[in-house]
Amino acid sequence: MIAYITVGADDIARAKQFYSAFLPALGYSQEEYHGDLSYIPPSEPGTPPVAPDFYVKSPFNGCPASGGNGAMVAFDVGSQSQVRNLHAAALAAGGSDDGQPGFRASYGSHFYVGYLRDPHGNKIALFSNDPSEPGRDG
């Protein structure tokens, strides 16, 4: 099980604006510790969270933050409309588009995804894979 995911950021205020545009809508609570950000997934009282914590931090080695080539963090947002809405909110909060919401031919017929880059270049996917919603083929 993945316990947590960390992405680097040189400007924590810009990162907070970006991630706070969509993670609270997914139930994540935001905390700050020593100037860094922690987004804690929802869980039932007395049970451990199912999803990993998501951290946004200044790199410990003091070098500039950068997005890893081929690295990506994906969030299951639950519905196609939520993919579109949260993708738009993240763009308005300082992100850049890396693939408009829609179906991709190389994935399953119900996999609906939008791709973004946060202000520091980290790649983020917002997706839904709900078989009760319309699929790519009809």
- Does residue 15 lie within any of the structural domains? yes
List the CATH number of the domain containing 31: 3.10.180.10
Listed as own residue / partner, the contacts of 36-45 with beta carbons closer than 8 Å and 24 or more positions apart are 36/12, 37/9, 37/12
Q: What is the mean pLDDT of residues 51-61?
A: 91
CA angle 61/66/70 to nearest 5° reads 120
pTM comes to 0.89
On the question of pLDDT at 72 being above 80, the answer is yes
Domain that residue 10 falls in: 4-59+67-128
pLDDT at residue number 37: 95
Q: What is the mean pLDDT of residues 66-80?
A: 90
How sure is the predictor about 46, in pLDDT bands with cuts at 50, 70 and 90? confident
Counting the structural domains of the chain, the total is 1
- Does residue 35 lie within any of the structural domains? yes
- Does residue 120 lie within any of the structural domains? yes
- Does residue 137 lie within any of the structural domains? no
